[in-house]
Structure 1
Amino acid sequence: MDLADQKAAVRKQAFAARKAAFDLDAGGASGLLSSVLAGYRGVSLAGYMPIRSEIDPLPAMAEAAAHGHVGVPVIMGQGQPLRFSRWMPDAPLRAGPFGAMVPEVDDFLKPEILIVPLVAFTRTGGRLGYGGGFYDRTLQQLRARRATLAIGFAYGAQEMAALPMEPTDQMLDMIVTDAEVIEV
């Protein structure tokens, strides 16, 4: 089985685990994320607008927006790094690619912290995304300019013992789940 097939098999398993955790989520899953971000008040960060069964970072992002700039990813095109447009709670949004909402008017910023959505993770900072490479390219570009903290945000059920990794895969610095904070 080649690497692409391995990743596809792991994604299928991880999507099922994530959906099961999502179905049990009674809200409040972003509490630990809020406590982690409180230590970085005023630092420019980017979260994401949750789609499908992704864990919801919006309450933590709203709290952070009261203290500093918060952006959300905007897909500029296939094979390109993401850009991040300034987001505020209750600000007007428009539909972006892949069903994620983005601010109606783009006001781009360069975050120092990225809250990264994922399909699966390992305790050593490995991350499996959707397969487009957007976050890998983006983190590589941001980290080439300055230190950038990548915080994976997921349900604990998305943890895997190991993941098929490529040299271009960017590692997470920390993982925050609905139940714990994992320092890498």
Structure 2
Amino acid sequence: MGVSGSGKSTIGALLAERFGVPFVDADSLHPPANIAKMAGGIPLSDDDRWPWLARVANELASSPSGLVVACSALRRSYRDAIRRDSKDIFFLHLALPAETLSVRMESRPEHFMPSSLLRSQLATLEVLGPGERGVRVDGSLSPTAVVVACEKAILASSSLLASKSTDRTQEDGRHGPSAAHYPTSRTSI
């Protein structure tokens, strides 16, 4: 997750390759009207976003064996919509200084998202909050270093969940998710 220019597509594709799961860039799930609006320098409204977020949620829910999705997911309410049918999603927030984001956006003129919308995205961004599975990662590091940091965060979350699952199993005999499930779980970056 993160604003435009944060490296979501690059890091998401690398992370999916690392875990051997499919990758989806949520930009490809936008209806043409949303793309046209953003390309014209007009920020999306929530009414524009909800159907798109439902498509993102459907992609994640239909991939029980794992999927990495690059998606802005700027607000908690958007992340809640994405988690609608997939409670095990782990969010990786790629964070960078505004100046770095601006330089990155200016260096990709073929992308539909103009740098003029960066300020709007930064104003909309809500960092991960209490109760949200995920972590903030320094997106200004090299792609390899970012992928390593993301992988460590996912594996640490997996170990914690497996530990809680083991504790719960010992307490009441129920079996929770195994650690092996989480490294290939649904991840939004």
Asked if TM exceeds 0.5, the reply is: no
Name the TM-score, length of structure 1 as normaliser: 0.29
Name the TM-score, length of structure 2 as normaliser: 0.28
Higher helix share: 2
Q: Which has the larger radius of gyration?
A: 2
